[in-house]
Chain A
Amino acid sequence: MKLHLKLTHRSRLLRPSCAALALVALALPARLPSAQAAPITITYLNQEQPIPLIQSTVNTFNQTHPNIHVVLQNLPFDQLFPQIEVRLGSGSSSPDVIDVDAPVTAAYAVQGFLTPLDSYFSKADLAQFVPASLSTSYYLGHLLAPPINGSSQLLYYNKDLLKKAGVPFPPNDVSKRLTWEQLVTNAKKAQVQAGKNVTAWGFVIDQIDRPYQLLPLPESLGGQPISKDGLHASGIVNSPAWIKAFTWYSNLFNTWKISPIGATPAQTPNLFSSGHAAYFWGGPWNVGTFQAAKGLHWGVAPTPYFAGGKAVTPNDSWHLGVNRHSAHIAAAAEFVRWLTVGPGNDIFVKGNGQVPSLLREITRINQDSAYATFPSNVLRLTSYEAQHTAIPRPVTPGFNEYQDILTRAFDNIRSGQSSKAALDAAAAQIDRAMAKYARAPH
Chain B
Amino acid sequence: MSRREWWVPYAFLLPAIVGLVIFRVVPTIYAIGRSFYAISFGLNPATVFVGSDNYTALFSDPTFWQSVRVTAVFNLIINPLQTTLALLLALLVSMRLRGIGVFRSIFFIPISISITVASIIWQLMLDPQSGLLNGLIEAVGLPPQSFLTSPNQALPSIILIASWIGVGYWMFFFIAGLNGIPPTLYEAAAMDGASSFASFVHITVPLLRRVIAFVLVADTTANFLLFAPVYILTHGGPQGSTDLLMYEAYNSDFVGLDVGRATAITTVLLASLLVVVGAQLLLLRSSER
What residues make up the interface of A, taking CB atoms closer than 8 Å to B? 1, 4-5, 7-10, 12-13, 81-82, 85, 89, 107, 109-112, 116, 140, 142, 196-198, 260-264, 397-398, 400-401, 404, 407-408, 411-412, 414-417, 429, 432-433, 436-437, 439-442
> Are B130 and A264 within 8 A (Cβ)?
no
- Rounded to whole angstroms, the CA-CA distance of A9 and B43 in the bound complex is 12
Please measure, in the bound complex, the distance between the C-alpha atom of A140 and the C-alpha atom of B44, giving whole angstroms. 12
Is B49 interfacial (CB 8 A cutoff)? yes
Q: Please determine whether B41 and A111 come into contact, CB atoms closer than 8 angstroms.
A: yes
Q: A8-B48, A89-B259, A408-B237 are in contact. List 18 more A-B contacts (CB 8 A).
A: A81-B255, A111-B45, A112-B42, A116-B43, A140-B42, A197-B130, A198-B129, A397-B41, A401-B256, A407-B235, A408-B236, A411-B149, A417-B239, A432-B63, A433-B258, A440-B40, A441-B42, A442-B42
Q: Is the CB of A439 within 8 A of B40?
A: yes
Whether B235 and A404, one on each chain, are in contact in the complex, defined by CB atoms closer than 8 angstroms, is yes
- What residues of A have a CB within 8 angstroms of the CB of B130 in the complex? 197-198, 260, 262
A261 near B149: Cβ-Cβ < 8 Å:
yes
- Report whether B146 and A9 are in contact in the complex, using a CB–CB cutoff of 8 Å: no
Cα–Cα, bound, A439→B128 (Å): 44
Q: Does B59 contact A (CB under 8 A)?
A: no
Contacts of A85 in B (CB 8 A): 253-254, 257
> Does B129 contact A432, Cβ atoms closer than 8 Å?
no
Give the Cβ gap from A267 to chain B, nearest Cβ, in Å: 8
Which of these, B29, B47, B129, contacts A8 with CB under 8 Å? B47
Evaluate contact between B42 and A110: CB separation under 8 angstroms. yes
* B129 CB, nearest partner CB in chain A, Å: 6
Residues of B in contact with A (beta carbons under 8 Å apart): 29-30, 33, 37-49, 61, 63, 123, 126-131, 138, 144, 146-151, 234-239, 251, 253-259
In the complex, what residues of B have CB within 8 A of residue A111's CB?
39, 41, 45, 257
The minimal Cβ–Cβ distance linking A103 to chain B, given in whole angstroms, is: 13
Q: In chain B, what residue has the closest Cβ to A113?
A: B45
Of the candidates A5, A261, A407, A433, the one whose C-beta lies within 8 Å of that of B49 is A5
A415 contacts B150, C-beta separation under 8 Å:
yes
How far, in angstroms, from A81 to B256 measured CA to CA in the complex?
12
Closest chain B residue to A114, Cβ basis? B43
Residues of B within 8 A of A5 (CB): 49
Q: Among the listed B30, B149, B235, B258, which residue makes an inter-chain contact with A408, where contact means beta carbons less than 8 Å apart?
A: B235
What residues on B are CB-neighbors of A82 within 8 Å?
254
Residue pair B41, A440 in contact (C-beta under 8 Å): yes
Q: Considering the chains assembled together, what is the distance between the CA atoms of A107 and B39 in angstroms? A: 12
Q: Report yes or no: A262 in contact with B149, Cβ–Cβ below 8 A.
A: yes
User: What are 29 inter-chain pairs, A to B, with CB distance below 8 A?
Assistant: A1-B33, A9-B47, A85-B253, A85-B254, A110-B45, A111-B45, A112-B42, A112-B45, A260-B129, A261-B128, A261-B129, A261-B149, A262-B127, A262-B128, A262-B129, A262-B131, A262-B148, A397-B41, A408-B236, A408-B237, A411-B234, A411-B238, A415-B238, A429-B63, A433-B256, A433-B258, A436-B41, A439-B40, A440-B42
Q: Which of A7, A10, A404, A432 contacts B39 (CB 8 A)?
A: A10
- Expressed in whole angstroms, the minimum distance between the Cβ of B260 and any Cβ of chain A is 8
